[in-house]
Amino acid sequence: MPNKTGELSVTEEPSQTDKEPETADQCFNKGTEEEESGDRWITSDLSKALRFYQRAFDLYQKTLKMNPKNLDALYNASRLLFSVYTEYIKNEAVNLADLTNCEEALSGNDNSVIQPLEKITSVFQHAVDFVGSHKTDSLPWDLYYNAAICYFEYAEDMTSGGYETDAHYDEAIGAMVSSEQLLTAVLKFQMQSLQDTDSGDQKNKEEEEDDDDDDKIVPTTALETCIDGYRLVTTLYEDACTKKRDQDVEKASQNFISDIDAAASELINAFSANGRLEADQINELRLAKAAFSSSRCTDVLACDNVWKQSQIEDRPDKLLIQAGSYRTLLDKYDEANVEISDDQKWTVLTYMDRLYKQAYRILKAELDEYKLRKKKDHGDDSSNIISQICTIFIEEADIALERSNLTSCDIALKSQSVLVKNFHALLKNAVIYSKKSGGLRESIVGKLMREKRRREALIRMCIADGKTSVAELNSIIGFKHWPQEVQDLAEVAQYSEGAAHIVAQL
């Protein structure tokens, strides 16, 4: 079985001929060839890659029609569906309208390689159930892991649009529980595998560095599962805007979190001193746990205390997640109709702005190192930093506009003209940065992400400046892209009125 990074499962050497495959094994092998071709094109031509993925999916389905018990084909099909969803649907840089000659993939029928998450989870669940009804030599943990992450994404996707009813929220909790059960089985298998090997001497560390066996369980593998566990439950707590929902999430996750806590502590105690877990990896775990703890907070003071006690170095990822935790808290207040004074809101927003500024300074220094070639760019390193800086500018612009509208706060009234000026300046900076080169090795997705950040800044400028006619939006943003940008801003208070005005014209 393939490992959790999504590598291909192959039962024999791939066919090197173009002859139409006739047997199940031939169809499967040809499918892996097509998928590998898609992987080679994904960084440079999204349309071409998708056409290869569609052919691979067709071949996996053909394999299963010939041999429904081919677990490799069943897993590859489910993993491919999820991989395509991640690359083409979840990836905000990709606009399906830009793809060419991909009619079959974009058709939306049962044979399409692009499917909704609900369908993908059912395909994964079928594979998991198949394993449960057939004896296997060992747990196919990579299948279970990918299925768990798919359920995680499904729960997260359901949270993105809010919840009209508690029944809808219960459905998201159900997806979380399904993910928990699979991750629990994966973590149990991983921890047992680590215990069955030597206790972690230097020899084992050297073997891990040299080992080409991607299926081998190492301490970082189990640590990543713990991190995913924290992030999973965090997603549900972030949208638990009522006491009942908070209690429902706690009831559904408390045993799971206890298991994650125990495994994480065991891993750190066993493998940090001997270097098999590095400081950065442990930091990532602590950050995920701090984010989990902050997602449970119901007031600003409690959130402050979580981050003060976390003792995590002020790196960009930490600062951005910390700032986001305060935004989550403010959103919970809005959803639960909890009123806070404009003075309190000013304090929170100002602190968030400081966190973003600090993250920008660190990222800017890192970007300069790439420009001066003090650090090697391995592809999209510079491009990713540019996109992050653009996001920071946009977040700061939103905060400046939000602070300028706090009419019951004296300092906000006094600073209003400066804040509005800063709002425009920050968005202009985002546009300028989005046009910076991401380097010679920048992927097509890196370029598209920078373009996406440019559009996010431009739509805000258009709404603020009253340039909201269809003709103006077509000219400034592009007719294929502005509808999505407007939709994304429809629920953001500062822009909702302007977005509604645009929608009314359609």
Which residue type is seen at 175?
Answer: A
- Sorting pLDDT into bands at 50, 70 and 90, what band is 198? low
Contact in structure between 159 and 236 (CB atoms under 8 Å): yes
- Sorting pLDDT into bands at 50, 70 and 90, what band is 326? very high
pLDDT of 142: 93
Query: Which position has the higher pLDDT, 266 or 166?
Result: 266
Question: For residues 355 and 71, what is the distance between their CA atoms, to the nearest angstrom?
Answer: 48
Between the CA atoms of 110, 114, 115 and 120, what dihedral angle is there, to the nearest 10 degrees?
Answer: 110
The whole-number average pLDDT for the span 340-360 is: 97
123-148: b (≥16 Cβ within 10 Å) or e = bbbebbebbeeeeeeebbbbbbbbbb
Of 191, 171, 170, 172, residue with least CA distance to 259 = 191
- Which tokens go with 355? 């966190």
As to burial, measured by CB atoms within 10 angstroms (0-12 exposed, 13-18 middle, 19+ buried), residue 414 is: exposed
The whole-number average pLDDT for the span 348-357 is: 98
* 493-504 vs 381-404: helix crossing angle, rounded to 10: 90
Question: For residues 504 and 506, what is the distance between their CA atoms, to the nearest angstrom?
Answer: 6
In this predicted structure, the answer to whether residue 161 has a pLDDT above a threshold of 70 is: no
CB-facing half-sphere around the CA of 252: CA atoms within 13 A: 26
In this predicted structure, the answer to whether residue 131 has a pLDDT above a threshold of 70 is: yes
- Sorting pLDDT into bands at 50, 70 and 90, what band is 2? very low
- The DSSP-derived string for 381-431 is HHHHHHHHHHHHHHHHHHHHHHHHT-TT-HHHHHTHHHHHHHHHHHHHHHH
pLDDT of 483: 93
pLDDT of 4: 41
Question: For residues 16 and 13, what is the distance between their CA atoms, to the nearest angstrom?
Answer: 9
Between the CA atoms of 109, 115, 117 and 123, what dihedral angle is there, to the nearest 10 degrees?
Answer: 80
In this predicted structure, the answer to whether residue 309 has a pLDDT above a threshold of 90 is: yes
Question: For residues 315 and 353, what is the distance between their CA atoms, to the nearest angstrom?
Answer: 15
Contact in structure between 359 and 392 (CB atoms under 8 Å): yes
pLDDT of 14: 43
The per-residue pLDDT for range 29-82, each reduced to its tens digit, is 999 999 999 999 999 999 999 999 999 999 999 999 999 999 999 999 999 999
Contact in structure between 415 and 403 (CB atoms under 8 Å): yes
Contact in structure between 112 and 55 (CB atoms under 8 Å): no
Question: For residues 425 and 414, what is the distance between their CA atoms, to the nearest angstrom?
Answer: 19
Count other Cβ atoms within 10 Å, centred on residue 311.
9
- Which tokens go with 281? 């990896």
Write the CB contacts of 390 (distance below 8 Å, at least 6 apart in sequence). 430, 433, 434, 450, 453, 454, 456, 457
CA R_g for the chain:
24
From residue 1, alpha-carbon distances to 139, 187, 209 in Å are 10, 17, 22
Residue 2: phi and psi, rounded to 5, are: -70, 160
In this predicted structure, the answer to whether residue 5 has a pLDDT above a threshold of 50 is: no
pLDDT of 376: 84
Indicate the range of 28-37, 159-168, 188-197, 435-444 predicted with least confidence: 159-168
As to burial, measured by CB atoms within 10 angstroms (0-12 exposed, 13-18 middle, 19+ buried), residue 231 is: middle
pLDDT of 202: 46
Percent pLDDT > 70 in the chain is: 92
* 444-465 vs 381-404: helix crossing angle, rounded to 10: 20
CA 371 to chain centroid, in Å, comes to: 27
- Sorting pLDDT into bands at 50, 70 and 90, what band is 506? confident
Which residue type is seen at 91?
Answer: N
Residue carrying the six token digits 């649907």: 89
The whole-number average pLDDT for the span 478-482 is: 94
Residue carrying the six token digits 């943990």: 141
- Which tokens go with 218? 């190492």
Contact in structure between 496 and 474 (CB atoms under 8 Å): no
pLDDT of 138: 77
Indicate the range of 100-109, 130-139, 350-359, 374-383 predicted with least confidence: 130-139
The whole-number average pLDDT for the span 213-238 is: 92
pLDDT of 158: 87
Cα end-to-end distance, the chain, whole Å: 50
Report H helices in 311-341: 316-335
The whole-number average pLDDT for the span 8-21 is: 55
Residue 135: phi and psi, rounded to 5, are: -70, 135
The whole-number average pLDDT for the span 378-390 is: 94
Contact in structure between 455 and 391 (CB atoms under 8 Å): no
CB-facing half-sphere around the CA of 97: CA atoms within 13 A: 8
The per-residue pLDDT for range 444-461, each reduced to its tens digit, is 999 999 999 999 999 999
